[in-house]
Each structure stands twice: as structure tokens, then as C-alpha cells.
Amino acid sequence: MKRFEKKDTAITKNKLPEKTLASSNFTYESAKPESSSDLSITDEKNAAGSNVPDWSENSTGMYFLPIFGLSFSSDLEWTPSNIPITIEQKNGFLGGFRLGHSWESLYLEHKTFYFNNIIENGSAPSVSIAADGHLSGISTLVSAGLNFSFSDYVKWKVGGGVGATNQELDIDLNGVKESESGLGLTYQFSTGVELRPFEHFVLGFHYNWYFTPEFSAFSDRHLNSLELSLGYFH
């Protein structure tokens, strides 16, 4: 009796006839590198959609910045009569605004602020006088200066200005109350750093030196201030 054995058929690879390959519509295109013009267009589109500010290319515009700060005043010599009285003041505060226009390397601005310093004590020649009260005023100035861009986010500013200050002194000397006011010329020197963390917003830290020449019953006086400003830039 014969035994029938099942033989496995040989496994062969499927091969397409050459005619089938020739008649197919399959095509192959090698990838071509983008040209420099294509890359520049892509970069411009990416830059247009980014919110990152660029002061080196977009530094022209108007700005409005409220300011807050601390004021440090020199001693003031007040002469309501023939005897001068030296008035010492505590550190005070100031507040106001800056309105201006900035170009790539220049800026021009108007600044108005209110300041107030509490009187610490008073003294006449060889005599100490108990004093209380405050010295306050409003200054308005026009200033101009230079801009130096350190990066797309940081700018250093330095400049100076001139304007006027109206000061008012309210003082109590050993129970005797006196008041005096006057308007005088003011000079300013300013320097500081401004940051643009995102578009249309400016954050600034400034040091300012103000000098008011002698006028009315007041001696000359200088005021140092550290100011924080933040607001809108367009």
C-alpha cells in the first residue's frame, strides 16, 4: 500500500512583471532643499506671528508711563525773616507721568510729578528748633536724551531737561505755624533702564537728579529720586 506524503510547496517571492512596472504611474521625486528666498519668507512669516518685541527694529513710537518713586531731598534753608532756618527732611515719595516719543536713538518727553517730603527738624544758627510739617510741590519738565539698545528687550536711556517747580512749605516751629510758597526754574538729569517683556508694554527703573535754584524765601535745593515707571508703548 502506497503512502501519500503531502509535500510543502516552495515559498517564492512575488515579482511583478516588468510590463506591469512599466505601465504603472508610480513616480519618485527627490526632495529638494528650500532656497534662501523660501527660507527668508518663512522667517518673515514666523516673525510676524511672534509677540516678541524688537527694539532694534521697532523702537519708534509714542509712550505714556505713570511713575512712582522715592525722593531724597537736601536740606533747605528758609528765610522768612532776617534769621535763616535750616530745614531737614525725611525721605518722601513722588508720583506722576511721562508722555513722550521715542526714536531709534533719541527720545523727547514731557514729565509732570508731585512730590512730598516730611520735615524732620529745623535749626537756626546755634539753636535747634522743634519742627513739624511738610515740603511739597509740583514739577513739570521737558527733557530729551539718547537711547542705547542692549538687546530686543533692554534699553538704556540717559538725558536731561528743564522746567519749573512750584514748592510749598507748611511748617510748625514750636507751635508757631508758617506757610511759604514759590515758583522757580528746575534742571534735571536722568538715567535708567527700560524693559519690554512683551509688545506694547514698558517697565522702567530710573534715577533722577533735580536742582532748583534759589527763589523767593527758599535757598537752592536738589532732589534725588528713584522711580519706577510702567505703561503703554506704541
Q: How confident is the model at residue 21 (pLDDT cuts 50, 70, 90)?
A: very low
Of the listed ranges 46-50, 110-114, 185-189, the one predicted with least confidence = 46-50
Q: Does residue 216 form part of some domain?
A: yes
Quote the pLDDT of residue 68. Answer: 95
Q: Does residue 205 form part of some domain?
A: yes
Q: Does residue 127 form part of some domain?
A: yes
Quote the pLDDT of residue 200. Answer: 81
pLDDT digits (tens, 9 = 90+) for 127-170: 778 888 899 999 999 999 999 988 878 889 999 999 999 989 89
- Summary mean pLDDT of the chain: 79
pLDDT digits (tens, 9 = 90+) for 114-138: 999 998 888 887 777 888 889 999 9
Q: Does residue 197 form part of some domain?
A: yes
Cα pseudo-dihedral 38, 39, 42, 43, rounded to 10: -150
Quote the pLDDT of residue 35. Answer: 54
Taking the CA atoms of 96, 99, 102 and 108 in sequence, report the sign of the dihedral they define: negative
Residue span of the structural domain in which 119 resides: 61-233
Length of the chain (residues): 234
Q: Does residue 151 form part of some domain?
A: yes
Taking the CA atoms of 211, 168, 77 and 68 in sequence, report the sign of the dihedral they define: negative
Percent of the chain with pLDDT over 90: 34
Q: Does residue 37 form part of some domain?
A: no
Q: Does residue 65 form part of some domain?
A: yes
**pTM: predicted TM-score of the whole model, two decimal places:** 0.70
- For range 212-219, the mean pLDDT: 81
141 with 111: CB under 8 angstroms?
yes
Q: What burial class does residue 93 get, using C-beta atoms within 10 Å of its C-beta: 0-12 exposed, 13-18 middle, 19+ buried? A: middle
Of 114 and 9, which is predicted with more confidence? 114
Quote the pLDDT of residue 48. Answer: 47
Quote the pLDDT of residue 18. Answer: 54
Quote the pLDDT of residue 225. Answer: 95
Taking the CA atoms of 67, 70, 74 and 78 in sequence, report the sign of the dihedral they define: positive
What CATH number should be reported for the domain holding residue 91?
A: 2.40.160.20
- For range 175-199, the mean pLDDT: 88
Quote the pLDDT of residue 43. Answer: 55
Q: Does residue 228 form part of some domain?
A: yes
- Number of structural domains in the chain: 1
